[in-house]
Homo-oligomer: A and B are copies of this chain.
Amino acid sequence: MISGKFAITLHILTLLSKFPDEFLSSDFLAGSMNLHPVLIRKEIANLKKHHIVESKEGKNGGTKLLRPAENISLDDIFKLTFERVTLGYSKNDPNPDCPVGKNINKKLDELYIDINDKISKELRGISLTEFSNKF
């Protein structure tokens, strides 16, 4: 769940990269993107799981980057926040007695894997630093 996962996570990381030595609170981060702090903390939990950031509890606590923004690519963030980009699937199981219905999802998968490879290739070339410098 969370459809804005990538955008939210990238926004969080962009802010963290602006203050690489400070622990920023979920409240502060939430203020910039106008979302509920709990949602921010959920995304931060995901970032921690992947050792991109560390958090400190308690007063003056917050979150900061664990490694230089230069060493984080947008593809890293993509992979962290997306199972896979798709152009969608028909919601119900298609009819297995129809040659097209029987195989459509497999063929869509193949197509979508190709698309994801292209996206990854594109994003691999952009570092968090490069993105962050646009602001």
Contacts and interface: CB of A to CB of B under 8 A. Distances in A.
Contacts of A33: 90, 92, 94-95, 101, 104
Interface in A72-86: 74, 78, 81-82, 85
Contact of A4 (B3, B89, B135): B89
Taken together, the copies of this chain in the complex come to 2
A95 B29 CA distance: 10
A35 B118 contact: no
Category for how many chain A residues contact B = 35 or more
A115 B119 CA distance: 6
Interface stretch (A6-14, A44-52, A61-69): A6-14
A108 interface: yes
